[in-house]
Chain A
Amino acid sequence: MRVTTTVNGERRQIDDVWEAESLLYVLRERMGLPGSKNACEQGECGSCTVYLDDLPVCACLVAAGQAQGREIRTVEGLADGDLLDPVQEAFVEAGAVQCGFCTPGLVVAAHDLLNRVGRPSDTDIREALAGNLCRCTGYEQILAAVRLAAERREEAVQ
């Protein structure tokens, strides 16, 4: 089948998609956007989190056909050229990245949290990101990164 979507602001038309392929597979294997990660492919780890019409979803749980006519924003679409999003910048600075396999999903999920809540408490952050598994960091530096990103975004607004 043919799937037509907008991905990171760009209109994409993909042919020969098999009906059972996930959005994650199409992004990674057919669109050349492997940034969204394939850690569990059953919606448990959050590594493939992308925006689907401004709502964060696990791309592995979205059938490719469901993306027809929708807008998708992946981790590859967060930076403005070479200018990292404050969340991305904070993850690098706070040591929140080790192996990095969870990072794309966490960056998108944290980006979504800060769009909704300006200055989340630590408990808010933990709850919002509890659907994103990380095996390397013990989350402490991820928490620090989200706090830092929240501060920077607030400063930028003021």
Chain B
Amino acid sequence: MSSVARPDSAAAGVRQRPGVAGGVGQNVARPDGTLKVTGEFAYSSDLWADGMLWGTTLRSPHAHARITRLDLGPALTVPGVSAVLTYHDVPAQKVYGLEHADQPVLCDGTARYQGEPVAIVAADHPETARRAASRIAVEYEVLEPLTDPRRAVDPTDTPLVHATGNVVRHLVIRKGDADAAADVVVTGDYEVGMQDQAFLGPESGLAVPADDGGVDLYVATQWLHVDRSQVAACLGLPEEKVRLSLAGVGGAFGAREDLSMQIHACLLALRTGKPVKMVYSREESFFGHVHRHPALLHYEHGASRAGRLLYVRAEIILDGGAYMSSTPAVVANAATLGVGPYDVPNVSVDCWGVYTNNPPCGAMRGFGAVQAAFGYESQMDRMAAELGLDPVEFRVLNAMSEGSVMPTGQVIDSPAPVAELLKRVRAAPTPDGRPEGPASDLRDLPGGVGNTTHGEGVVRGVGYAVGIKNVCYSEGFDDYSTARVRVELVGGRPVASVHTAAAEVGQGLVTLLAQIARTELGVDQVTILPADTQVGSAGSTSASRQSYMTGGAVRAACRAIRARRPDLAALREGQVVEETIEWRHRPTVPLDERGQGNAHVQYAFAAHRAVVDVDVDLGLVKVVELATAQDVGKVMNPAGVLGQIYGGSSQGLGLALMEEIQVVDGAIANPSFTDYLIPTMLDMPPMQVDVLELADPHAPYGLRGVGEPPAISSTPAIVAAVRAATGRALTRIPVRPEYITGAGEPAG
């Protein structure tokens, strides 16, 4: 059932279907691996076309301002410039949005966040385009930005960011007795800073005008079809004239759910009649995509003296920034998962997502669940301390399991091994203590080769956390994926091809879909065709849903082929068997006015143990080790599962200790990799991974989404370990050195 975790031994215990090489459960290498190690893989920023132009964007330097004068003349006279476009040049719908169209394609006269696109330029060299953009004369009347999300919640207080009001969504969850009381009560206020997805491949793509008046767009995205519908609406073109193909994607993590340069490149291409390439710089990337919602969380937990949770009350405010993006879904996750993977008889959660003039926020790995987990896991440690209980014992005592009832009334109807995961990370071997004396390698100490300590003032701490995440789209959304599978005889042997629009963003879906086809069809040779809009929608590569959804669709299409032609080996040359299947998970329902309903499809769980060394004098932290246990239902590809768990854990480490977009009066103070720090190889500790395979009977192969849970429990576990080492409350993440030394910890 479990495997201790090294890339080479993780396949232990995974049964392989005999006779199918490269099938489900095996350590199959990526089909694009060789191209990626030789530099031949074509990412969206690598594209090139004859006679192409370069596009660039002029953005508002102000978080809130009215444009009083806009003169394009100086830009148009720059030699090499082909087009300069503004709001007035958007031919059809002027606004777009993932769930609700509220974001202007180009500034409508009022800039609502710093970085809002004002004008776009096409020229023969990227530097020419940038210089021309800088010559556009814009005068602004600077307005006071609304930057405090607490003000945005109050309907009587604030200036409005949008005429519809500042509250995007207020979700209420009520379960049991709203007035429940308890012998032991702990309260806490927590804050989560704004994290960036920081994918390495910048926003980029190539738009090519087509002879039929339409456009072909090659782009890195998470969902081709939802991009297409937004692009087509703004261009005023029928969808069939807007054809999207997935270019190589350099990571996503939620940041490519919303549009960035898609409409802009198409507008410039259609205006100039030439291919237009746009590539954001790293600085522009910080303004060009949504970030993780910062959160303010107030919690009150009540428990019996024996350690049983009796109630949880929570108020959570999520700062959505200037435009809606996926804020409603983030609110739903934070609220419905807001008490964590615990049995709580009485729950009262109020969660708000609001508009402000801060940078727009939307999807990032684990969205909603990440913010809530920092709140509820901090509270669980506080309550355990108050009760005098071991923090793991207290969690185990209250851990939910199959049959538990969520705060939404939804009954968990597949394995939920929360207690088991906690016990496993606690039982994992602990790393050795630091060797005493001057022989210690500086590189293993907090501060590293900065040579800030030789061990003096260094204290070790251990912390635990567990988290919960929903998988797939929720609340009644018609969530489906489409797969077209074709089998034909080539050179006397059956060969399969799989065509979907699912976005491979690095996670390894292309490997997994081929594995499924091999297992289901018994065919060795499988080709995964490039993803594009010539086949039906696959839905988004988000919510840990593609293995479940497009995996499910490919399995269904293969089974339809087998039903029609049980003996594929008997195919004759020239014969083709093809099936296209639109596949859905079981339906969900919207939440009612008390936040009740079977809104989610599947739940996934992971636990972490963190061991840290803290230099308590300087506030520097070295994570010594992370141990994690996660139930994945079914290991489809061992190396792929481990890669997701390692990677998610590192993003959680980043949020715990270093990653924050610092926003001052609505302006980003650190839009670069010099000042926005993501974990390096020296920051990441060795990891022990324990993978459980408890099948979900409702899911294809019993699998459970893997990508997000590791990003949820790693953060609170690390912060708990730093608390254990320092005795500090540490109510805000990322933890800064001054919180540890006591020079500047916020009240909590």
Given contacts A123-B443, A127-B443, contact A40 B647 (CB under 8 A): no
Q: In the docked arrangement, what's the CA distance between A36 and B41, Å?
A: 11
B26-62 interface (Cβ within 8 A of A): 27, 29-30, 32-34, 36-43, 45-46, 48
Q: Does A138 contact B (CB under 8 A)?
A: yes
User: Contact flags (1/0) for A73-102 with B, using CB distance below 8 Å?
Assistant: 011101100001000110111110111111
Name which residue of chain A comes closest to B277, CB basis.
A29
Binding site for B on A (CB under 8 A): 18, 20, 28-29, 32-42, 44-45, 47, 74-76, 78-79, 84, 88-89, 91-95, 97-104, 107, 122-123, 125-127, 129-144
Q: Does B423 contact A (CB under 8 A)?
A: no
B37 touches which one: A32, A37, A41, A84 (CB < 8 A)? A84
Give the chain B neighbours of A97 by CB distance below 8 A: 30, 33, 36-37
Give the chain B neighbours of A125 by CB distance below 8 A: 681
The bracket for how many chain B residues form the interface is 35 or more
B250 contacts A138, CB within 8 Å? no
Q: In the docked arrangement, what's the CA distance between A20 and B127, Å?
A: 9
Name which residue of chain B comes closest to A105, CB basis.
B200
Q: In the docked arrangement, what's the CA distance between A135 and B285, Å?
A: 15
Given contacts A123-B443, A125-B681, contact A99 B39 (CB under 8 A): no
A136 touches which one: B248, B443, B647, B674 (CB < 8 A)? B647
Give the chain B neighbours of A143 by CB distance below 8 A: 681
Give the chain B neighbours of A45 by CB distance below 8 A: 200, 673
Give the chain A neighbours of B650 by CB distance below 8 A: 137-139
A142 contacts B681, CB within 8 Å? yes
User: Contact flags (1/0) for B502-539 with A, using CB distance below 8 Å?
Assistant: 00011110000000000000000000000000000000
| Among listed B180-188, B228-236, B635-643, interface-contacting one | B635-643
Give the chain A neighbours of B95 by CB distance below 8 A: none
* Minimum-distance CB pairs A-B, first 8: A35-B39, A99-B506, A138-B646, A100-B36, A101-B250, A95-B639, A138-B650, A44-B673
Name which residue of chain B comes closest to A18, CB basis.
B127
Q: How far is the CB of A111 from chain B (nearest CB, A)?
A: 11
Q: How far is the CB of A110 from chain B (nearest CB, A)?
A: 11
Say whether chain B's binding surface is mostly helix, strand, loop, or mixed: loop
A88 contacts B200, CB within 8 Å? no
Q: In the docked arrangement, what's the CA distance between A76 and B679, Å?
A: 27
Q: How far is the CB of A104 from chain B (nearest CB, A)?
A: 5
B250 contacts A100, CB within 8 Å? yes
Give the chain A neighbours of B30 by CB distance below 8 A: 92, 97
Give the chain B neighbours of A78 by CB distance below 8 A: 38
Q: Does B734 contact A (CB under 8 A)?
A: no
Q: Does B16 contact A (CB under 8 A)?
A: no
| Complex A-B: 26 CB contacts under 8 Å | A32-B48, A37-B201, A38-B279, A39-B200, A75-B37, A78-B38, A88-B34, A92-B30, A94-B7, A94-B639, A95-B640, A97-B37, A99-B505, A101-B506, A126-B684, A127-B682, A132-B681, A134-B200, A135-B197, A135-B253, A135-B651, A137-B647, A139-B680, A140-B646, A141-B7, A144-B7
Give the chain B neighbours of A130 by CB distance below 8 A: 680-682
Of B34, B37, B199, B647, the most chain A CB neighbours within 10 A belong to B37
B643 contacts A98, CB within 8 Å? yes
Q: In the docked arrangement, what's the CA distance between A16 and B143, Å?
A: 45
Q: In the docked arrangement, what's the CA distance between A75 and B670, Å?
A: 31
Name which residue of chain B comes closest to A131, CB basis.
B680
B674 contacts A44, CB within 8 Å? yes
B38 contacts A138, CB within 8 Å? no
Q: How far is the CB of A145 from chain B (nearest CB, A)?
A: 9
| Besides A98-B507, A100-B250, 9 new A-B residue pairs in contact (Cβ under 8 A), listed by A number | A37-B43, A38-B45, A40-B673, A42-B673, A45-B673, A101-B199, A133-B680, A134-B200, A139-B681
